[in-house]
A and B are shown apart, each in its own frame.
Chain A
Amino acid sequence: MPLRPAYDNEAMRHRIVAFLTVCTLAIALACTNTPDDVAPKNVETTQSPEPVGTPITSPLNLGEPLTGVTGMGDRSALSPKYGDVLVLANRGDPPSGFDTMRTSSIALHHVAGALFGPGNLVMRCRENLYLACPYLATSWVANPGFTEWTFTLRNDVLWHDGTPFTPEDVVFWFDLAVNGYQVGDKVRAPAYFKGDLGDIQSVEALPANRVKITLGGRNKFFLDVLANPRIKFAHPKHLMEPRLLAGDMSVSPLDIGLVGLGPFKFKDYQRGTQVQVRRFNDYFEVDSVGNPLPYLDGIDYIIMKEPIAMDAAFRSGRLDGGARGSRHYLTAERKQGYVSDLGDDVYYAEIEGGMFRLAFNMFKDGPWQDPRVRRAISLWIDRDASIPVVLGGFGWTTPSFGPPNPFKNKAFVVWPTFDTEPLAERRVEAKRLMAEAGYAGSFSMGHLCRAAQPPGCELLQAQLKGLGVDLRIQIIDEGAWNRARVSLDFDSQQGRLSVLPIPEGTEGVYGVYSQNPDSYAKHEDPRVSELYRLLREATLPERRLGIWRQLQEYIFVEQTYIVAISEAIYVAPYRSYVKGLVIPPEDGHSNTDFATVWIDQSKK
């Protein structure tokens, strides 16, 4: 049932035209206003009196603005309606008591976007997810050294229990994330993303609703770090602190009633069945014409472990949208069923997904210590064959970031740009390199294989047999995977982790093992560390891009520590009457924003 009458179409059109004009100008200004190496004194990075939906200058601003919102080309999308409850599948129960500091499970993020909001002090702009936009902060100022960042908070933000959101909440949250908590001999662990936040020295509440964050070193890209949608404020000081002081170190957002700042407030959670959230009427965001968000009355997240159960429920009309998360994203075969049953009534959101790769452990002795052997393996693998077998039919052959990412290495856009010869010729070269390295016969190499991904392991095993590499698959279950992948016990592995979609964010998975135990390839190459150091110090976008490309070529071609094979395209189904959904070009794992979603009843 709509909360308010539909808008007057004529007035609405005028307001939209005006808004789009302003947006276009703002975007154009932002694109031309790329940051340079010389920082003026006390750089005001943004000053946005109307923060919602207005893209601002961001260090990430290298690409074309993107439209990632469903229904933008549809006239009906211009008149969103209030009301209705969206029914979405969710991959599982949100773990860790919905604690966004504790875990980054998609089963949590899918719900957390609604409960805790799409951002923290800043968020990724809805119109271009590679830009940072204001969220809980209206503006920010960095000192010339980019070591002190002062944020001015909105003064109209309320927690779901009606308590005002204050600078003290921000100080408490950062302290909890970076330092954990300690009462006597009881401790609470810091947030898992503590490393992503960098070296935070202090966070202070200042007068006039401001917060100053002091960093241990220069970080011009701090906004991009904060814009990571995994980082959400789900820990109100007035509810968390008393429990912590009482010694309840593991207190979670669920324990305090899931009181957040997002567009929807918690209604009910039945373990293994569903999570229900309902519209928060005092939510602070408004749309482009000043109407309050969110449009929906609520969202029901139905916990569905089995993709086939989700498919059946969706195809029979019980769901408005599918779950996000591997296994639940559609394969080409499953999509055919959707198309045959529902035709054009389904919108298929496509999100750049995870990479299928082979990474070597350079700490273990073996023929793969020779870069010619690693290169030969890279040349030998038929990358195209992996897409139907490993990625369910949706993917492409390229390493690292997705195509719209401003840091995409254009030389790698479609593999094998770097290896342009036909597969047969590349395989001849691979054989030659193996012979040159003295491994014309066969050798054995272990391969850590996650139980959920045997097709990838089997594909590699079958293909590499032709090169004389006997890949010994060592399958482990999910519980053992997280330990095994950071160990040095295996000759090679696939790795599977998502990172920030900026070059600096990749060091955790491409960097040296001693500082990055999660790295796919276990190596200690100082050249890689050096390139990352240069990357962090570069501030001119072109310089940054250049180093990043150099780094990729070094890792994927010159040294071939990692054989980048293919990248998945995740496909999530939504009924076509679901409008205004923000579809991230990548990082769909945690970029879950439902504030702008509405349901077009005329098409339901």
Chain B
Amino acid sequence: MTISYLLSRLALIVPTALLASVIIFGIMHVLPGDVAATILSGGGETTHSPEVREALREELGLNDHWLKQYGTWLWNMVNGKLGGYSLIDGQSIRSQVAHQLPITGLLALYTLVASIFIWVPLGIIASWQRDRWPDYLIRFIALPGQAVPSFLLALLAILGLLLLFGWSTPIVYTGPLDDPWNHALMVFWPVLLLTWEFGAGIVRVTRASMLETLGQPYIMVAQAKGLPEQTVLLGHALRNAMLPIITVLGVQFGALLGGTLILESIFGLPGIGRGLVEAASARDFPVVQSLVTVLVVAMLLVNLLLDLAYARADPRVSYGLAKNQGNSS
């Protein structure tokens, strides 16, 4: 791993994020609809005159040339305002991101940690007990989480809690440091459902990867030497089976950053996924562009961390040394 490799990867983030923002800008301007009409119509329920709408478009700068609009947004991205201000409510996008991103980030992190501690061990057990009842049971538990849509699971969870216990999750979100118990009660169910949703993939990849590794000659050698089964599994097989597992975990973490919208809405978590969809439906393009750019950068960073994790998990993987050692991946 060289510093120059790391820097080159980091540098690539800039053009990639720019490209994403241009694409989103284009899409938002091609889509039918008008944020000024959305604001004035109050959810499509009141009348307003074309004259007022035109004046609002002027006020919001929507009549400016598209290059100027994009340039204004870009300048606001680089000058620390993170895209400027929402057209819908005039509030700072930076404060919106600062409020929403940690909530979604925490949700994704909790899900990742829970997945690692629940599904990876279960995947190992499934491979170890291949085609025996523990293997079937684990797969039987994991699969519905992926097969049933998360919104349906969430609704069932809410109704189940209400009907069985007369209980619902708290309604006011608090951070983990403000009120840990309330925070835990609010995020427990969405994290559980997200962990279940992503469990099937992790179990299957862990199981398949472990099975492949367990079939390798060096495992047989280790077993022939009389090493305890636990040592063979965890000390020899697991480490070599880690690469696909890391990949799946990383990809799912990235997906979680932008993909928890439905659960955020149902469980009252004011995260970035919910903010993104609300902004998109209102055609609030500076917010959409900024949030998408933030998510793109987050995804690129996750990918970079994944690559670093590969090198950590497998000494044969190295970056930026191909020319000298002829060993790259």
Interface positions of A (Cβ within 8 A of B):
92-93, 95-97, 102-108, 180, 186-195, 230, 249-252, 254-255, 270-274, 300, 302-306, 308-309, 312-313, 315-316, 318-319, 325, 341, 354, 450, 476-486, 496-499, 508-509, 516-518, 589
- On chain B, the residues within 8 Å of A484 by CB distance are 32
Q: Does B168 contact A (CB under 8 A)?
A: yes
Can you give 6 contacting A-B residue pairs, CB < 8 Å?
A96-B89, A108-B42, A230-B46, A271-B99, A478-B43, A479-B32
Stretch from B7-15, B110-118, B264-272 at the A interface:
B264-272
**What's the least CB distance linking B187 to chain A, in Å?**
14
**What's the least CB distance linking A361 to chain B, in Å?**
17
- Decide if A273 touches B38 in the complex (CB within 8 Å): no
- On chain B, the residues within 8 Å of A274 by CB distance are 172
A305 to B37, CA, bound (A): 22
Question: Which of the residues B168, B269, B282 comes within 8 Å of A318, measured between beta carbons?
Answer: B168
Contacts A309-B158, A319-B171, A483-B34 given; indicate if A517 touches B44 (C-beta within 8 A): no
- Decide if B268 touches A309 in the complex (CB within 8 Å): yes
Q: Does B72 contact A (CB under 8 A)?
A: no
Contacts A230-B46, A479-B33 given; indicate if A271 touches B52 (C-beta within 8 A): no
Compute the total of residue contacts between A and B using a CB distance below 8 Å: 201
A47 to B283, CA, bound (A): 48
Stretch from B125-133, B220-228, B273-281, B295-303 at the A interface:
B273-281
B side interface size, CB within 8 A? 60
- Decide if A318 touches B44 in the complex (CB within 8 Å): no
Question: Which of the residues B31, B89, B171, B275 comes within 8 Å of A304, measured between beta carbons?
Answer: B171
20 extra interchain contacts, Cβ-Cβ under 8 A, other than A270-B99, A271-B99, A273-B173? A95-B88, A95-B89, A104-B43, A187-B58, A192-B42, A192-B52, A194-B49, A272-B99, A305-B268, A312-B158, A312-B168, A316-B167, A319-B171, A478-B38, A479-B38, A482-B33, A482-B38, A484-B32, A496-B44, A508-B47
- Decide if B158 touches A93 in the complex (CB within 8 Å): no
Question: Which of the residues B43, B45, B56 comes within 8 Å of A189, measured between beta carbons?
Answer: B56
A193 to B91, CA, bound (A): 23
Contacts A255-B90, A273-B270 given; indicate if A106 touches B43 (C-beta within 8 A): yes
Q: Does B235 contact A (CB under 8 A)?
A: no
- On chain A, the residues within 8 Å of B52 by CB distance are 189-192, 194-195
Residue of A nearest to B277 (CB): A305
Question: Which of the residues A250, A271, A486 comes within 8 Å of B96, measured between beta carbons?
Answer: A271
**What's the least CB distance linking A320 to chain B, in Å?**
12
**What's the least CB distance linking A508 to chain B, in Å?**
4
- On chain A, the residues within 8 Å of B35 by CB distance are 479
A312 to B155, CA, bound (A): 10
Contacts A254-B89, A484-B32, A497-B47 given; indicate if A479 touches B268 (C-beta within 8 A): no
- On chain B, the residues within 8 Å of A303 by CB distance are 268, 270
Contacts A189-B55, A316-B162, A477-B281 given; indicate if A105 touches B43 (C-beta within 8 A): yes
A354 to B42, CA, bound (A): 15
Q: Does B304 contact A (CB under 8 A)?
A: no
